[in-house]
Amino acid sequence: MDPVSYLFSAYLQSVHNEVYSSMTESMGTQLKAVVVEYEGSKIPFQHQLWQIRSSSVCANTSQNIAQHSECTMKAGRMFNEICQNLSANPSKDFRYIKSRNMYCNAAVTFKPVVAKLGASKEKSDLSLAKSACNAATIEAMGSHDPRVINQRDKACETYKQLKSRP
């Protein structure tokens, strides 16, 4: 290949790459992974086509419900705060407008996981009676002992009476 053809080919390749890069950036076709430091935590998420993929938000914490809940709740606050900041300082740059729309859309549509863990409540009389009936029924299975069968009948009768109360 002669030097002029080589130079022209390199120029065309450069122009092609620049046009392709510019188009993919403006359309947001490439999947991008982002990690943002917010309130002392790292909030990871992915976006493509200028839309945040909800399933990717805090995906690294999905195995621990308490951590995941905390992370997604922070992410929701972060999307809202970024939207407000971008809306308060307008710009005509297409990246700015696309980013603002992306974060504002996420602020409205993203649903964080809300998990509140605490001690279990005391069981009601009905729940206790049902458990006693179930346990007595299991114990009476295959048993011909009249005492065991009688205990089952009493426990289940107590449950039926509590269940029928308004």
Q: Residue 116: what pLDDT?
A: 78
pLDDT tens-digit series, residues 47-87: 999 999 999 999 999 999 999 999 999 999 999 999 999 99
Q: Residue 94: what pLDDT?
A: 87
Would residue 139 count as lying in a domain?
Answer: yes
Query: Which structural domain range is residue 152 located in?
Result: 125-164
pTM, full prediction = 0.58
Instruction: Compute the residue count for the chain.
Output: 166
Neighbours of 20 (CB within 10 A): 10
Q: Residue 138: what pLDDT?
A: 87
Q: Residue 20: what pLDDT?
A: 45
Q: Sign (positive/negative) of CA torsion 89, 92, 95, 99?
A: positive
Q: Does 132 share its domain with 67?
A: no
Q: Residue 122: what pLDDT?
A: 72
Final residue in a domain of this structure, among 62, 83, 109: 109
Q: Residue 19: what pLDDT?
A: 47
Q: In what order do the strands lie in the sheet with 32-38?
A: 32-38, 41-48, 51-52
SS3 content of the chain, % helix, strand, coil (to 5): 65, 10, 25
Tally of structural domains, the chain = 2
Q: Does 94 share its domain with 49?
A: yes
- The β-bridge relationship of strands 32-38 and 41-48 is antiparallel
DSSP annotation of 110: -
Q: Please state, in angstroms and rounded to a whole number, the distance separating the CA atoms of residues 50 and 103.
A: 9
Q: Which residues of the chain have pLDDT under 50?
A: 8, 15-16, 19-22, 24
Q: Does 103 share its domain with 145?
A: no
Give the containing element (helix H, strand E) for 35.
strand 32-38
Would residue 97 count as lying in a domain?
Answer: yes
